[in-house]
Amino acid sequence: MASIKSVLITGGTGSFGKTMLRELLHGDIEEVRVFSRDEEKQDALRNQLHDGRVRYYIGDVRDRSSVDRAVAGVDAIFHAAALKQVPSCEFFPLEAVRTNILGSENIIRAALASKVQSVVCLSTDKAVMPINAMGISKALMEKLAQSAAREIGSKADTTISCVRYGNVMYSRGSVIPLFIKQIKAGQPITVTEPEMTRFLMPLRDSVALVRFAFDHARQGDLFIKKAPASTIGDLVTALKEIFGVPDHEVNVIGWRHAEKLFETLASAQELSSSEDMGEYYRLRLDERDLNYSAYVSEGEAETHSYQDFHSHNAQRLEVAEVKDLLMSLPEVQAEVASWQAKRP
Ligand SMILES: O=c1ccn([C@@H]2O[C@H](COP(=O)(O)OP(=O)(O)O[C@H]3O[C@H](CO)[C@H](O)[C@H](O)[C@H]3O)[C@@H](O)[C@H]2O)c(=O)[nH]1
C-alpha cells in the first residue's frame, strides 16, 4: 500500500475496521478516517489509541452528505460498514437494502466524485446464490460495484473492487464465542447440524485479503481467499478437546431459518474467468456490454469444466487442524487461559 497517504474505513469501529486501523497505523500512513454511527464506540477507540493520525467521522452510509464529508480528499476506502447479521436482515430486509445496497452506492458514487484511487467493498460468501436478505443485499452491493466499474472503465481515476469473506472466526455474535460460553457455563453446546460446513477465516486473513485486493485490483475485480472449511461437528470436537471437556453435552437443535448446509465462495461461472493467484483467486469483471446475443444466444462456452468453490468441496480441516487454527487466535488463547486458571 505504498503510495497512499490517507484512508477511510467505513464501519471503522467494527472488528475488521479496528484490526485494519491498527495495521495501517504501524505503517507510515498520514491519516486514517474512521466513519461510523456510534459515538460511544468511536470514543472508546479514541481513548485506546491516542493517535493524532486517526480522525473520527460520525455519519451513516445511508446519508450521502455525511459520506461526502468523510470521503473528500482520501486516497483509498475500505468499505466495511454493513448490516451483517443474518437474522436481523431477515426480519428487517428494507434496512439491509438501505445500508448494504443504497449505502454502498453512496460510497461508490462519492468515491468517483472525489477521484479516490481505490475502493475495496467487503462482501461475504452468503452473497453467492443467496437465500437470505443479508446475502441478497451483499450480492446487490457487488453488482453495484461491478456495474460502476464497467461504466467507468479501466482508465478511470478510481479502481473499484470487492472481496468475499467466509465466516470470520470469533467475530461478535458468531458461533465460536457462543460455544465457548456454553462450555464455560456448563450448558449443552447447541449444534444446528453437525454436517453443516463453513469456511473458517481468522480476522487477520480477512484484513490480508483486503490489502491484497488493494494492491492487485484491476477495475471491477473481486478477490476470494482459498480458505479451508470445517464441519460444525468437527469445530465442536476441537473446542471440547481444547477446553479439556471431551464429554461435554451436545444438543442438536436443527437448522435456523435462512441458512445453508454449505456456503459458496465462487460460482463455476465466476471461476471460468478467474485468475489463480496462489492463495487467492481474482474473479474478473465481465466487461461485455448489455448485448442481447451474448446474454441470450451465445452463452458461456467454458463454464462447464468448472465447479463451484464451496465449503463442502474446499480443503476440509481435520479436528487437529481446527484446534491449531483456533489456538492461533489471541481471543481463544485468552479464553483457554482464564478457563484453566479457574479449574482445580
Ligand atoms: O447455536 C448455534 C449457532 C450457529 N451454529 C452453526 O454454526 C455455523 C456458523 O454460525 P454463525 O452464526 O457463527 O455464522 P453464520 O454462518 O450464520 O453467519 C456468520 O457469517 C456471516 C458472514 O458470512 C455474517 O458475518 C454473520 O453475521 C455471521 O453470524 C452455522 O453452520 C450455524 O448453523 C450452531 O451450530 N449452533
Query: Looking at residue 52, what is its pLDDT?
Result: 97
Distance 93 CA to ligand 1 centre (A): 18
Is residue 209, in this structure, part of any structural domain at all? yes
For the Cβ of 259 lying below 6 angstroms from any atom of ligand 1, the answer is yes
Q: What is the atom index within ligand 1 of the atom nearest the CA of 193?
A: 35
Res. 302 pLDDT band, cuts 50 70 90: low
Q: What is the pLDDT of residues 247-265, one digit of tens each?
A: 999 999 999 989 999 999 9
3-state SS record for 215-264: HHCCCCCEEEECCCEEEHHHHHHHHHHHCCCCCCCEEECCCCCCCCCCCE
Domain of 38: which CATH number?
3.40.50.720
Residue 274's domain comprises 6-166+201-226+266-291
Is residue 34, in this structure, part of any structural domain at all? yes
193 in Cβ contact with 232 (< 8 Å): yes
Is residue 55, in this structure, part of any structural domain at all? yes
Distance 163 CA to ligand 1 centre (A): 19
- Judging by DSSP bridges, how do beta strands 250-252 and 264-266 pair with one another? unpaired
Atom 9 (ligand 1): residue with closest C-alpha?
Answer: 175
For the Cβ of 15 lying below 6 angstroms from any atom of ligand 1, the answer is no
Dihedral angle of Cα 69, 74, 77, 79, to the nearest 10 degrees: -20
Is residue 305, in this structure, part of any structural domain at all? no
Q: Is the pLDDT of residue 303 over 70?
A: no
Q: What is the atom index within ligand 1 of the atom nearest the CA of 253?
A: 36
Is residue 71, in this structure, part of any structural domain at all? yes
Instruction: Ligand 1 pocket test: pick from 175, 237, 262, 310 the residue with the most ligand atoms within 8 Å of its Cβ.
Output: 175
Q: Is the pLDDT of residue 292 over 70?
A: no
Q: Is the pLDDT of residue 295 over 70?
A: no
For the Cβ of 196 lying below 6 angstroms from any atom of ligand 1, the answer is yes
Is residue 100, in this structure, part of any structural domain at all? yes
Sheet of strand 229-231: strand arrangement: 167-168, 197-201, 229-231
ipTM: 0.94
Average pLDDT of the segment spanning 72-91: 96
Q: What is the pLDDT of residues 115-147, one digit of tens each?
A: 999 999 999 999 999 999 999 999 999 999 999
Q: What is the pLDDT of residues 180-190, one digit of tens each?
A: 999 999 999 99
Instruction: Ligand 1 pocket test: pick from 198, 200, 203 the residue with the most ligand atoms within 8 Å of its Cβ.
Output: 198
318 vs 1: which has the higher pLDDT: 318
Domain count, the chain: 1
Is residue 117, in this structure, part of any structural domain at all? yes
Give the total residue count for the chain: 344
126 is catalytic: yes
Atom 16 (ligand 1): residue with closest C-alpha?
Answer: 167
89 in Cβ contact with 95 (< 8 Å): yes
Is residue 50, in this structure, part of any structural domain at all? yes
